[in-house]
């Protein structure tokens, strides 16, 4: 019944986790979900108010402009200039129905079936599944803790660099929480230009960083806009269910992406786009406040895991903690024990790459006191 491309797709790891969670809840069990990265914090009141207010706008129910409403694009341009010192034009911005949609639709802009791209592992799973659906081969380059999970360009073979048309980075990184600096981005940009490889950064977590770090965009180090970047309102502004994101940068890519989108969707609901404008206008203190909450939770989990002899990567980005499984466990046996003994959902490391079955990911998207109470009840390993 299904095409081979669909039949060969693995079930999305978070779909599996959600099924287990729902089964437990139906049985009346209390579950601490530290699996999926869905913020428990609410959107700012002004976002909700603008959404409701926009339902009274004339023609709010009509098809939106395919590229997104001009007001939102201008606000993104202003935001990138203010936060990242990046200057963008209107034709270098396109509004997406969440960045996941944009990632999938960008691939056929660059690649034909049979072409190759470079992705790093551990990785956000949709990079590979989207490529598989389009018949594109992924050349996977491993990231190592000894390098702070930053890509080592020496690990890319000449054959891979010669045959690949696109490289997808993700910094701040999901699942490791690693962040990239100016030197790293400049080196990768230089490498990709020399190999004629288009470069993309998935910047979903650009602003989910520790208070001592400064938000950065790959476009800050790319005056020629050779690169492009995906952004989303989901994580920074607690708007996962709104499904609103954007792509910025390389003009040819952005216009090609718009061309593909024109054939697959009709844009995002206009009131949601106005709600996104309200998000971008929020004072910096709002984002800083959210980051303080996540950092406080991360510090609490690190303290508990240290007491329980669980090692972790001391990351500065995202609201995840990337941890080593205890001695004698792989990722799935430990995840099973966490669920069965403590009713805690964690994400096995192999969900992000089969060679990472000695890791697991904790999502800090639950209140600190609950996290401390439940994880504090764990035995030491």
Determine the pLDDT at residue 239: 98
- Cβ distance 208 to 293 under 8 Å? no
Cα–Cα distance list, 343 to 25, 34, 40, 335, 378 (Å): 10, 10, 18, 10, 11
Determine the pLDDT at residue 348: 96
**Count of Cβ atoms closer than 10 Å to residue 117 Cβ:** 27
pLDDT tens string 6-61? 877 776 666 766 777 788 788 888 899 999 999 999 999 999 999 999 999 999 99
Determine the pLDDT at residue 10: 72
Mean pLDDT of 309-324: 98
- State the Cα torsion 228-238-120-188 to the nearest 10°: 40
Cα of first residue to Cα of last residue in the chain, in angstroms, is 47
Residue with tokens 């020629």: 224
- Domains of the chain from N-terminus onward: 4-42+285-377 (3.90.1150.10), 45-281 (3.40.640.10)
pTM over the 0.85 mark: yes
Determine the pLDDT at residue 349: 98
Mean pLDDT of 324-342: 94
Determine the pLDDT at residue 4: 82
pLDDT, mean over the chain:
95
pLDDT tens string 130-151? 999 999 999 999 999 999 999 9
Q: Give the whole-angstrom CA distance, residue 308 versus residue 302.
A: 10
Mean pLDDT of 68-91: 98
**What are the residues facing 315 on neighbouring strands?**
none
Would you state the structure tokens that stand for residue 139, as one six-digit string?
Answer: 């050349």
Determine the pLDDT at residue 293: 97
Q: Give the whole-angstrom CA distance, residue 105 versus residue 84.
A: 26
Strands 344-345 and 32-33: parallel
Has residue 96 got a pLDDT over 90?
A: yes
DSSP 8-state secondary structure symbol assigned to residue 244 = -
Q: Give the whole-angstrom CA distance, residue 367 versus residue 351.
A: 25
């Amino acid at each position: 019944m299904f095409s081979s491309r669909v039949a060969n797709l693995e079930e999305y790891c978070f779909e599996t986790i959600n099924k287990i969670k729902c089964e437990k809840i139906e049985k009346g069990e209390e579950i601490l979900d530290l699996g999926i990265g869905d913020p428990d914090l609410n959107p700012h009141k002004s976002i909700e108010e603008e959404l409701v207010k926009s339902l009274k706008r004339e023609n709010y129910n009509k098809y939106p402009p395919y590229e997104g409403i001009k007001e939102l694009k201008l606000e993104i341009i202003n935001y990138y200039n203010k936060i990242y010192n990046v200057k963008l034009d209107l034709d270098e911005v396109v509004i997406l129905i969440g960045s996941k949609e944009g990632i999938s639709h960008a691939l056929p802009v660059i690649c034909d079936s049979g072409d190759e791209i470079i992705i790093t592992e551990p990785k956000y799973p949709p990079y590979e599944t989207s490529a598989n659906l389009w018949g594109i081969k992924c050349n996977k380059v491993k990231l190592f803790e000894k390098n702070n999970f930053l890509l080592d360009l020496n690990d890319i073979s000449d054959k891979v660099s010669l045959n690949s048309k696109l490289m997808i980075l993700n910094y701040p990184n999901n699942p490791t929480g690693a962040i990239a600096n100016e030197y790293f981005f400049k080196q990768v940009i230089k490498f990709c230009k020399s190999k004629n490889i288009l470069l993309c950064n998935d910047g979903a977590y650009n602003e989910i960083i520790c208070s001592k770090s400064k938000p950065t965009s790959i476009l800050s180090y790319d005056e020629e806009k050779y690169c492009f970047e995906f952004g989303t309102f989901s994580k920074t502004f607690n708007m996962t269910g709104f499904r609103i994101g954007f792509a910025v940068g390389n003009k040819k890519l952005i216009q090609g992406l718009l061309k593909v989108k024109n054939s697959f969707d009709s844009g995002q609901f206009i009131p949601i786009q106005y709600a996104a404008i309200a998000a971008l206008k929020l004072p910096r203190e709002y984002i800083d406040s959210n980051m303080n909450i996540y950092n406080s939770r991360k510090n609490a989990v690190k303290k508990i895991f240290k007491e329980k002899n669980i090692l972790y990567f001391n990351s500065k980005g995202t609201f995840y903690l990337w941890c080593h499984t205890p001695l004698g466990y792989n990722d799935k046996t430990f995840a099973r024990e966490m669920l069965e003994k403590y009713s805690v959902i964690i994400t096995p490391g192999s969900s992000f790459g089969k060679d990472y079955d000695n890791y697991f990911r904790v999502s800090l998207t639950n209140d600190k006191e609950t996290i401390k109470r439940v994880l504090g009840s764990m035995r030491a390993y």
